[in-house]
Chain A
Amino acid sequence: MPPKSFESRARELASAFAAKDYERCSHLLPPLKVTLSQLNILVPLDSSDLSLVTIARDILEIGALTAIFLRDDLLFSRYIAQLSPFYAMKDKIQPPSANERKLIALRLLLLLSKNDIAEFHTELETLEDEADKDIYIRYPVMLERWLMEGSYDKVWKATTQRSEVPAEEFAIFADILVDTIRSEIATCSEKAYPSLPLMNAKHLLFFTEDKDLLEFIEQRGWTVKDGRIYFPQESTDSLETGLPMENVIENTLGYARELETIV
């Protein structure tokens, strides 16, 4: 197709996105991507035309943001993967993308919500030093830190209060994160408290409605008695009384074998 109508379609996409018509965006995107690959610009090389590269990058960014709003994780990950060669050549593309930081931060947040901490840190290493300075990237980094420490109240405040969240896209992850925190707190509470009054449990788990709390308790399998929650106690001491025969025998046989082998 002649590039002229391609550019007009790209503008159409941008206007649809600005108007928050995400359904329409998702319709417009696939044919645009086909055109991009026909123009050989889907994967940018050093030899590609720079103006086309800029347009391609903008299109892909809109695609990624649309995927977030439509809550499609896989699609978002795919767009980010396609964007990475563009960001690798960012020195050559003018103007630098305003959305780059936001998208990287969103990717980090996605990894965090899936609890993929190893991948999270790997990506973080490639960013080097910008974590503290950039408001977008700081958000998932601080969240991860608080989650690891265990200060769940800070995480709660950061995800639910609108003032803390840097952009609306981040708020979409809020639900997943809240679920994560709740299950974490629940697991900690099982080990830490012998028993807990209902009122405090509601407060600790950040529930507003009693019935939500009761549903949650059902789900976790705790017992309620006299307005207190009792956690199932694990029977710890009975298991370890005998000698772990198998292990010891296995080890000793191993030693005997090794000593006698002729190397």
Chain B
Amino acid sequence: MPGPESQEPKVDIKDEKMTDADTAQKPKSPEEVAALVLNDIKQNFGFLEKAAVNFEPRFSMRVLRGLGNLRRRLTPDILVNTVDAAYPSSSHRSAALILKYLGKEESSMEIDESVSGNATSAVLPEIDVYVLVLFQVFLLDQGDVAKLNSFNDEAITILRGYNRRTLDALAAKMWFYYAHGKELNKQVVEIRPLLLAVLRTSTLRHDTETRAMLTTLLLRNYLHTQAISQAHQLVLKADFPESAATSVVARYLYYVGRIKAIQLDYSAANESLIGAIRKAPQTSYAAGFLQAAHKLKVIIELLMGDIPERSLFRESMYENALAPYMDLVKAVRIGDVPQFSDTIEKYGSVFKKDGTYMLILRLRQNVIKTGIRMMSLSYSKISLRDICIRLHLDSEESAEYIVAKAIRDGVIEATIDHEKGFMQSKEILDIYSTQEPNMAFHDRIKFCISLHNESVKAMRYPMNQHRVELKNVEEAREREKELASEIQEGDMEEDDGDFDGL
């Protein structure tokens, strides 16, 4: 393990003690900040070691969770210090790579000959990959896409040299940044064969995290180029490991929801999206993802004929992003076709950017159906001509056909009288006398049961704790036995004593 950091200046502690109240505002000097960050990084090294030794993925997850916090505080100097701390010599492959990209080439080194077994084995692979990931994130934040891509190519080569299960979570992260870099560079299609090959390898090795992440990355790749049928095939053929990290599962469910929505399978799409929203973290860090997921969910609900709740649009996280969608919902709810067309025109560019434009175009028939339903509910009898005028349809004939189709689709319960030219609504059925409540309850009960089962399965007990408990229990029992026997003997003695005393 790297030696303890001894640069912590004593001034720091005194300062903190003196200015407790405004510690946050007091500007720390760059060295102190760097030292703190370096300390955090070294702490993470410790966690990674524990993870590797104990096979506990929880520590790697913890380290990765801290990644978001760290990346805001990274500077080139800190990275150089990290490299020094992590690698025994700067001729190590990864060290040389990072230093090269930092522009701090030590001396004319031969990178080839440093690929010796000695240098590699001295550094824990987890730490190696972690430092590489840190650097990836750093380059990404710098915005230097070309550098990021060439670094990624070499980093991936290093990664593929390892085959350790404890590396899974970190490897998945590295693949994510690799694909992200390529996407920014618009090199999406070329990396497909590579991603597929790595997916195969990770499936063979039972590497769940990487497998899940790669499946998700491939889906994103296909959807990016609108290759929907290929994405669909991937979903059908490749099993997705449900035991992967929830963030990856959430993303996967989102992509599956999109594919199904395009293929007109709205109820399945809705289920996927509900799952995605539930699994995503509910904090503001996931705001982008939650906004995108909610946008899609709103559209799918509209396509299914339900109106999304208004309370959704009032939450602060969603207010701005979902504003165009709220106008859309209003237009659909009223059943007003011209207003609908206006809304589409007004926000067309926003919808196209979100990738929901084509889905929204399909909503037109929903608007008309809603309009007809309103008519049928509010009027017991209404002439076709009036329907035509109110819904802004083109002709009475169209109105007649549309109403007939609506009746066939079960949107309204009515009959048409052709000669007299009117539509007559039927009596409304009492819903509690049908099976509807039963089925709704059944769905909810099913969900609660599965949630209960999953929670029980997810409970964790530290591995040897129960043995310690057992030992305690056994000791306690022995002590009790001794006590009991002592009491017994004591009793007998006392009895004798009493006898004697008498």
User: A residues touching B (Cβ–Cβ < 8 Å)?
Assistant: 117-118, 121-122, 124-126, 128-129, 145, 148-154, 184-185, 187-194, 196-197, 200, 204, 240, 244, 247-248, 251, 255, 258-259, 261, 263
Nearest CB in chain B to that of A193: its residue: B416
Please name all residues of chain A whose beta carbon is closer than 8 Å to the beta carbon of B365 when the two chains form the complex: 145, 148-150
Instruction: State the majority secondary structure of interface residues on A.
Output: helix
Give chain B's interface secondary structure class. helix
Residues of chain B with a CB closer than 8 A to A185's CB: 401, 404
Chain A residue with Cβ nearest B337: A149
B364, closest chain A residue (CB): A145
In the complex, the chain A residue whose C-beta lies closest to that of B355 is A125
3 closest pairs, A vs B, by CB? Answer: A150-B405, A188-B404, A192-B404
- Closest B residue to A184 using CB positions: B405
B383-422, CB under 8 A of A: which get 1 and which 0?
0000000000111011011111111100000111111000
Asked whether, in the complex, the Cβ of A121 is within 8 Å of the Cβ of B418, the reply is: no
Asked if B438 CB lies within 8 Å of chain A CBs, one says: yes
Query: Complex: how many Å from CA A126 to CA B403?
Result: 32
Q: B314 near A: Cβ within 8 Å?
A: no
Given A151-B398, A255-B449, A191 and B407 contact (CB-CB distance below 8 Å): yes
- When distances are taken between beta carbons in the complex, the residues of chain A under 8 Å from B228 are 122, 125-126
Sample of 6 A–B contacts (CB below 8 Å):
A122-B228, A126-B226, A149-B368, A151-B402, A153-B397, A204-B418
| Most chain B CB inside 10 Å of its own CB: which residue of A118, A124, A188, A200 | A188
Which of the residues A118, A125, A190, A261 comes within 8 Å of B226, measured between beta carbons? A125
Q: Report which of B352, B394, B406, B442 forms a contact with A129, defined as CB distance below 8 A.
A: B352
In the assembly, what is the distance between CA of A145 and CA of B365, in Å? 8
Q: Given the interface contacts A118-B263, A128-B226, does A191 sit within 8 Å of B419 by beta carbon? A: no
Min C-beta distance of A203 to chain B, whole Å: 9
Residue of B nearest to A153 (CB): B397
Which residues does chain B contribute within 8 Å of A187, judged by CB atoms? 408
Most buried by A among B357, B362, B406, B408: B408
Cβ distance A23 to chain B, nearest Cβ, rounded Å: 34
B312 on interface, CB distance cutoff 8 Å: no
**How far is it, in angstroms, between the C-alpha of A152 and the C-alpha of B408 when the chains are bound?**
14
**Contact A149 to B402, CB < 8 A, known contacts A126-B226, A263-B453:** yes
Residues of A within 8 A of B262 (CB): 121-122, 125
Among B227, B404, B414, the residue within 8 A (CB) of A150 is B404
Q: Which residues does chain A contribute within 8 Å of B407, judged by CB atoms?
A: 188, 191-192
Q: How far is the CA of A204 from the CA of B445 in the complex (A)?
A: 48
Q: Is B431 an interface residue (CB 8 A)?
A: no
Task: Output the nearest chain B residue to A261 by Cβ-Cβ distance.
Answer: B453
Closest to B259 in A: A122
State whether B364 touches A188 (Cβ < 8 A). no
**Additional pairs, 18, CB under 8 Å, beyond known A118-B263, A200-B418:** A121-B263, A121-B362, A122-B263, A124-B358, A125-B226, A128-B358, A149-B365, A149-B402, A150-B402, A150-B403, A150-B404, A152-B401, A154-B398, A192-B403, A192-B416, A194-B417, A200-B419, A261-B453
Compute how far the CA of A176 lies from the CA of B368 in the bound complex, rounded to whole angstroms. Answer: 27
B457: Cβ under 8 A from any A Cβ: yes
**CB atoms of B442 and A189 under 8 A apart:** no
Q: Which residues of B contact A189 (CB under 8 A)?
A: 404
Tell me, yes or no, whether B229 is within 8 Å of chain A by CB.
yes
Shortest distance in angstroms between B390's beta carbon and chain A's nearest beta carbon? 16
**B401 close to A150 (CB less than 8 A):** yes
Given that A125-B228, A149-B364, A263-B456 are contacting pairs, would A192 and B408 also be in contact in the complex, using a CB cutoff of 8 Å?
Answer: yes
CA A187 – CA B414 in complex, angstroms? 15
Question: Is B434 in contact with chain A by the CB < 8 A criterion?
Answer: yes
Taking the nearest CB of chain B, how far is it from the CB of A16, in angstroms?
35
Q: How far is the CA of A191 from the CA of B414 in the complex (A)?
A: 9
Contacts of B67-86 to chain A: CB distance below 8 A? none
Query: Is B364 within 8 A of A194, CB to CB?
Result: no
| B residues 223-252 in Cβ contact with A at 8 Å | 226-229
